[in-house]
Structure 1
Amino acid sequence: MPSQGDALQQAHSDYQHHMRTCRQCHADGAPCAVAKHLMRVYNNARRIAPRTD
């Protein structure tokens, strides 16, 4: 089972990859619905990730 840190890294990687490869995001200069969803997934993973302050 992946750790929360792994989930955070994967969510961030998925979002970055989408932003680099999505024609709609690239052409419009604004995130598409999929990019917004991936950002929500990343934000949720970041919220539950253990703090390393």
Structure 2
Amino acid sequence: MSSPEEAVRQARADYEQHMQTCRQCHVDTAPCAVAKHLLRLYNNARRGAPRR
């Protein structure tokens, strides 16, 4: 199982990669449903990670 910090990094990387490769997100500058879901996953991972 990965650490909480690794989960945050992976969620952020997934979101950023999607924003760069998704035609709707990249061209329209409006996030699609998948981007919104990935951002929600990132925010949840960030909230769940221990504070430094």
TM-score, scaled to structure 2: 0.96
Give the structure 1 partner of residue 6 of structure 2: 6
Task: Give me the whole-angstrom Cα distance separating, in 2, the residues matched to 1:9 and 1:20.
Answer: 17
**For this pair of structures, how many residues does the alignment match?**
52
Which consecutive residues of structure 2, in runs of 5 or more, have no partner in the other structure?
A: none
How big is each residue's C-alpha offset from its partner over 1:17-42, in whole Å with a ceiling of 9 and x where there is no partner? 00011001112111000000000000
TM-score, scaled to structure 1: 0.94
Moved over 6 A (4+): none
Identical aligned pairs, as a percentage?
A: 67
Q: CA RMSD, aligned part only?
A: 0.5
Which consecutive residues of structure 1, in runs of 5 or more, have no partner in the other structure?
A: none
